[in-house]
């Protein structure tokens, strides 16, 4: 954005502020996005050219509406039906997302099962960690480059338990060196299998209901939880000669980030928008329209959502799908979703690198921070740390690591009697690292004993190092927090292998 004097009198800008998608209390992620939007809207207002205060008020309007307003709901339904009738919206089956899932190493077992070829005494040996899902098998997969199985390609298997005839297919994603190199494909019970099922248009069959209870496909075990039958079922497989051997191995199991329970993939009926087809339709009227969008980072060029909200939010009362003036639509800037300009910011993460969220229980309510530090402090912190393509992460080890670099550089300059450089390093660390970065980041992290002790240690060491330069204020501050005299203390040297001038 240029200076106000360079902006023409017909300058206009439209910034969309959608409400947060929320089912509970606000958290810092909502504050992060809202602060950026509010900052940009105020910048727009300040840049209205050569207008007095009253003119600015007239030319700077805030139009508000609610997503559940009757007129908006009516237009949403109308748009949905239109997109459905035009073939852009359809209903399909999907495996529910594993976004809030942690993968942890665990000891497990591989069960090697015999799958006989149709009309043959030969069989393929399949290694699986979940034998209780074989009721939902729809295919076997091998790697086309695996010489052991090339002769079996395009043949069929008679399922060892259900008796169904299923195909032997090939895909290069199959790991040759894992287990036997043969994968049984159950799209309804594994995320990887689900992707293979979509790729090869296989049936998606589930042997459980939405609560993880076994259904009619499993016969005598119907009504039980899927995880409860493994021991009994494996015994039956061994008895029938289907299970050839069992091996111990280490794997990564999927656990819920919230409850800690092992995750079972779940099929769900969902609505989908055929975005590639919709883009082609739009490009018939506006060729190469995506190239006209200014993305802050090029890797997000494929991000696109619908423009229904700006249409209905800028409309006059009871007006349906208006033809908006060019100076109001397309939207000038929208945070996270593209219009003329796109600003895609990072996430706020805790010191373990986990996304701060309500469901994980590691989020921080902005109201708490505002009451403690003031709204302006929180706003300035979020805006200052909004780096394109980077997430905001607080890590205590980095605090101590930077102190170690400071100590090394400080003593390096003292040995050379470069007192000015040594003093400058201390001031820079106090202002830019401790005050501006670490203290601000600590405000959005859990204020536990580890965080408190780390910052206290760094602060005390900084006061000791500053004492020769500013003895009176450092003595006062040190006694306030320790009740000890600073001259009786010493600098605790921290070893580091980092290079000079990293501060």
Q: Is residue 109 predicted with pLDDT exceeding 70?
A: yes
Q: What is the pLDDT of residues 244-292, one digit of tens each?
A: 999 998 887 777 766 677 777 777 778 888 888 887 887 787 777 666 6
Q: Is residue 500 predicted with pLDDT exceeding 50?
A: no
| Least confident range of 223-237, 274-288, 427-441, 442-456 | 442-456
Q: Which single residue is written with the structure tokens 């297919």?
A: 169
The span from the CA of 482 to the CA of 403, in Å, is 20
Q: Which of the pair, 414 or 155, is modelled with greater confidence?
A: 155
The span from the CA of 174 to the CA of 156, in Å, is 18
Terminal Cα distance for the chain, rounded: 32
Q: How far is CA 88 from the centre of its chain?
A: 27
How buried is residue 380: exposed, middle or buried, by Cβ count under 10 Å (0-12/13-18/19+)? middle
Q: Is residue 2 predicted with pLDDT exceeding 50?
A: no
Residue 168 CB coordination number (10 Å): 20
- Cis peptide bond N-terminal to 330, omega within 30: yes
Residue 219 sits at φ, ψ, to 5 deg, of: 65, -120
Q: Which of the pair, 36 or 11, is modelled with greater confidence?
A: 36
- Whether 28 contacts 356, CB under 8 Å: yes
Residue 302 sits at φ, ψ, to 5 deg, of: -85, -5
Q: Which of the pair, 428 or 255, is modelled with greater confidence?
A: 428
- Which domains does the chain possess? 12-88+273-343 (no CATH), 101-268 (3.90.740.10), 394-488 (1.10.730.10)
| Least confident range of 82-96, 170-184, 272-286, 432-446 | 432-446
DSSP 438: I
- Whether 175 contacts 145, CB under 8 Å: no
Residues facing 141 on adjacent strands: 169, 183
Residue 250 sits at φ, ψ, to 5 deg, of: -100, 135
- Whether 409 contacts 501, CB under 8 Å: yes
Residues 6+ away with beta carbon under 8 Å from 216: 222
Q: Which of 211, 210, 254 is nearest to 101 (CA)?
A: 254
And the tokens for 385?
Answer: 């740390």
DSSP states of 314-374 as a string? Answer: SSPTT--S----TTTSS-SEEESS-SSEEE----EE-TTSPBP-TTTT----HHHHHHHH-
Q: Which single residue is written with the structure tokens 């919709």?
A: 278
Q: Which of 385, 373, 472 is nearest to 436 (CA)?
A: 385
Residue 464 sits at φ, ψ, to 5 deg, of: -65, -45
The span from the CA of 347 to the CA of 352, in Å, is 13
DSSP 47: T
Beta strand ranges found along 143-209 (DSSP E): 156-158, 165-170, 183-185
């Amino acid at each position: 954005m240029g200076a106000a004097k360079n902006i023409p009198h017909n300058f206009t800008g439209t910034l969309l502020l959608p409400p947060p998608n929320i089912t509970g209390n606000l958290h810092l992620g909502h504050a992060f996005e809202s602060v950026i939007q509010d900052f940009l809207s105020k910048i727009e207002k300040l840049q209205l050219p050569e207008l007095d205060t009253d003119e600015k008020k007239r030319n700077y309007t805030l139009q508000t509406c609610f997503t559940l307003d009757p007129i908006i709901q009516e237009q949403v339904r109308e748009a949905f039906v239109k997109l459905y009738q035009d073939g852009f919206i359809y209903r399909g089956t999907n495996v529910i997302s594993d976004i809030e899932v942690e993968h942890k190493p665990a000891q497990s077992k591989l069960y090697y099962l015999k799958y006989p070829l149709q009309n043959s005494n030969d069989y393929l040996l399949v290694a699986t960690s979940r034998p209780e899902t074989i009721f939902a098998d729809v295919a076997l997969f091998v790697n086309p480059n695996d010489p052991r199985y090339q002769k079996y390609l395009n043949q069929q298997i008679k399922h060892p338990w259900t008796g169904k005839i299923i195909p032997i297919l090939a895909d290069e994603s199959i790991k040759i060196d894992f287990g036997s190199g043969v994968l049984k494909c159950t799209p309804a019970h594994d995320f990887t299998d689900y992707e293979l099922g979509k790729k090869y248009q296989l049936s998606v069959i589930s042997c459980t209901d939405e609560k993880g209870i076994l259904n009619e496909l499993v016969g005598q075990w119907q009504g039980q939880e899927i995880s409860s039958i493994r021991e009994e079922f494996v015994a039956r497989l061994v008895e029938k000669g289907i299970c050839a051997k069992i091996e111990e191995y280490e794997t990564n199991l999927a656990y819920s980030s919230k409850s800690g329970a092992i995750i079972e993939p779940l099929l769900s009926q969902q609505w989908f928008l055929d975005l590639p087809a919709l883009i082609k339709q739009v490009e018939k009227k506006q060729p190469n329209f995506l190239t006209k969008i200014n993305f802050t980072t090029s890797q997000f060029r494929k991000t696109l959502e619908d423009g229904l909200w700006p249409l209905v939010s800028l409309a006059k009362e009871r007006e349906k799908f208006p033809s908006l003036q060019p100076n109001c639509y397309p939207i000038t800037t929208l945070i996270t979703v593209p219009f003329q300009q796109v600003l895609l910011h990072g996430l706020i993460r805790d010191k373990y690198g986990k996304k701060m969220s309500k469901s994980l229980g590691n989020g921080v309510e902005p109201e708490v921070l505002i009451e403690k530090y003031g709204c302006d402090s929180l706003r300035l912190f979020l805006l200052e740390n909004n780096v394109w393509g980077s997430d905001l992460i607080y890590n205590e080890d980095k605090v101590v690591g930077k102190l170690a670099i400071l100590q090394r550089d400080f003593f390096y300059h003292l040995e050379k009697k470069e007192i000015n450089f040594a003093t400058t390093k201390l001031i820079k660390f106090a202002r830019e690292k401790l005050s501006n970065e670490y203290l601000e980041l600590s405000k959005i992290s859990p204020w536990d004993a580890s965080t408190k002790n780390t910052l206290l240690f760094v602060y005390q060491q900084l006061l000791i190092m500053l004492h020769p330069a500013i003895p009176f204020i450092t003595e006062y501050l040190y006694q306030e927090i320790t009740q000890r005299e600073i001259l009786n203390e010493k600098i605790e040297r921290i070893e580091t292998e980092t290079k000079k001038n990293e501060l």
